[in-house]
Amino acid sequence: MSLIHQEQLPNGLWLVAEPNDSAQSLSMTMLTPAGVATEPAGQQGAAALLDEMLARGAGGLSAREHCDALDQLGVQRGSGVETHHIRLSATMIADKLAEALPLLLNMIKAPALEDTALEPSRDLALQTIQSLDDEPQQKVMLDLRDAFFPPPLGRSPYGNKDDIQTLTADDLRKFWRASCVPGGTILGFAGKLDWPHLRDLVGEHLGGWSGARDQTQPNGQAPRGYRHSRAQTSQVHIAAAYDAVPEPDDDSILQRIAVAALSGGMSGRLFTEVREKRGLCYSVYATYAANRQRGAVFAYAGTTTPRAQETLDVMAGELRRLAQGVDESEFTRAVVGMKSRLVMQGESTGARAGAIATDQFNLDRPRGLDELTDRVDAVTLDRLNRFLSDHPPADMTITTIGPEPLEVEQNVGSGA
């Protein structure tokens, strides 16, 4: 059984680490509470701009000096904006930790945030928003999040164009001071590591860091319902969502297996019924997304204009038919697929660092692969089908992009 260390530093930061003696690499994931839900009113895009500027110098080093220092150590890194956090990820050869760690931590703790870095960051952010016109699949899912979640949880990670154009460097420095704080931050490691050494090293570099931020709560009702964005194109993009159990719920594993049966590759129901049998669309899938407060099942289909209405009807029908249960073969394929993915996750230190950091946020504790596998093994077909019968999809929120709106059932989306 894998041992995962967990400790809260005096400044409020949670440190979690999973040793893997067979690995030569060490990966890090840092979740700091600067996600889109924390942006001040009228500053949607502050997180996206800050995320870009964090890579433009830190700890007294210029952008080029900082980048070169990490490259010389062979550190692979990346960052991204989420609902509640900015996520900083890195993977390195384990014996480079002492040199690489201060460079990485300073990106959050002591970024340069120079005035000269703002305009290039702003230009990139605006280009990304503009590029969504060429990525309607991504855009329809962003529209779905905005319609499905209560504000500010449905905000786009790319921000709002008008707000981005008015943000100043002082605005971003203020946002950084309020959001990039240890209280609410989670630091996860996985791979070849010595726990006492790692704990002491993190404490040495973050001991003087202070501040805290509470998790943002919803401040309004979700719009829900049906939303259409008109676009003169031969394609129609359809997205749907409905409420599901949150991650801490004991039944969340049942929801995952159900969605795996629904959308587990070419053998999944959606692919079989919507694409293979009827030839209605070129892409169709569903996924389960959950955190500590809420869960949801999301679905997408891309099709042509003449087949859009039938595609929506069949896809929604398959989502609802899940309440009738799955058969033995569907159940077996879903379980085997989930266990295979767990095995592959265990071979990636980056995946494990991200998983235990996310668990700490969602569950207040990290989970090992043994526990996750045991949860899957404990599910029976009867238990799964009872869950599906008791949790039928209801009040779907639907968004579409295409020439004309589609017809949706009257009970779709009644608010949250």
Q: What are 277's two structure tokens?
A: 């049998």
Q: How far apart are CA 393 and CA 358, in angstroms?
A: 26
- What is this structure's pTM? 0.94
Residue with tokens 């009872």: 386
Identify the H or E element spanning 356. Answer: helix 349-363
Residue 303 lies in a domain: yes
Q: Are 190 and 27 in contact (CB under 8 A)?
A: yes
Q: How far apart are CA 217 and CA 224, in angstroms?
A: 18
Identify the H or E element spanning 37. Answer: none
Q: How far apart are CA 209 and CA 181, in angstroms?
A: 7
* Claim to verify: residue 258 and residue 165 sit in the same structural domain: no
Distance from the Cα of residue 60 to its chain's centroid? 31
Residue 337 lies in a domain: yes
Q: How many C-alpha atoms does 172 have within 13 Å on its Cβ side? A: 28
* Claim to verify: residue 202 and residue 254 sit in the same structural domain: no
Gyration radius of the chain's alpha carbons: 22
Angle between helices 328-346 and 381-390 (to 10 degrees): 100
Listed residues 139, 174, 206: the one ending a domain: 206
* Closest-CA residue to 192 (of 320, 380, 19): 19
Listed residues 206, 236, 255: the one ending a domain: 206
* Claim to verify: residue 157 and residue 38 sit in the same structural domain: yes
* Claim to verify: residue 232 and residue 191 sit in the same structural domain: no
Q: How far apart are CA 287 and CA 259, in angstroms?
A: 6
Residue 217 lies in a domain: no
Q: Are 213 and 116 in contact (CB under 8 A)?
A: no
Q: What are 189's two structure tokens?
A: 């490691």
Q: What are 198's two structure tokens?
A: 């790692």
Q: What are 76's two structure tokens?
A: 């692979």
Residue 154 lies in a domain: yes
Q: Which domain holds residue 364?
A: 226-402
Give the largest Cα separation in the chain, rounded: 63
**Domain count of the fold of the chain:** 2
Residue 170 lies in a domain: yes
Q: How far apart are CA 170 and CA 114, in angstroms?
A: 10
Residue with tokens 């230009």: 123
* Claim to verify: residue 233 and residue 185 sit in the same structural domain: no
The sign of the CA dihedral 79, 85, 91, 94 is positive
* Claim to verify: residue 296 and residue 357 sit in the same structural domain: yes
* Claim to verify: residue 330 and residue 300 sit in the same structural domain: yes
* Claim to verify: residue 267 and residue 359 sit in the same structural domain: yes
Confidence at residue 268, expressed as pLDDT on a 0 to 100 scale: 83
29: domain CATH number? Answer: 3.30.830.10
Residue 21 lies in a domain: yes
Q: How far is CA 17 from CA 8, 33, 74, 187, 215, in A?
A: 12, 20, 21, 8, 23
* Claim to verify: residue 164 and residue 82 sit in the same structural domain: yes
Spatial CB neighbours of 297, under 8 Å, sequence gap ≥ 6: 241, 242, 244, 255, 259, 286, 287, 288, 289, 319, 393
**What does 113-167 look like in DSSP terms, one character per residue?**
--GGGHHHHHHHHHHHHHHGGG-HHHHHHHHHHHHHSPTTTT--TT--HHHHHH-
Identity at 132, one-letter amino acid code: L
* Claim to verify: residue 182 and residue 284 sit in the same structural domain: no
Q: How far apart are CA 48 and CA 87, in angstroms?
A: 11
Q: How far apart are CA 103 and CA 12, in angstroms?
A: 21
Residue 413 lies in a domain: no
* Claim to verify: residue 262 and residue 316 sit in the same structural domain: yes
* Claim to verify: residue 172 and residue 316 sit in the same structural domain: no
Listed residues 171, 206, 241: the one ending a domain: 206
Residue 345 lies in a domain: yes
Question: Residue 227: phi, psi to the nearest 5?
Answer: -135, 130
**What does 288-314 look like in DSSP terms, one character per residue?**
EEE-SS-EEEEEEEEEEGGGHHHHHHH
Confidence at residue 415, expressed as pLDDT on a 0 to 100 scale: 39
Residues with pLDDT less than 50, the chain: 1, 413-416
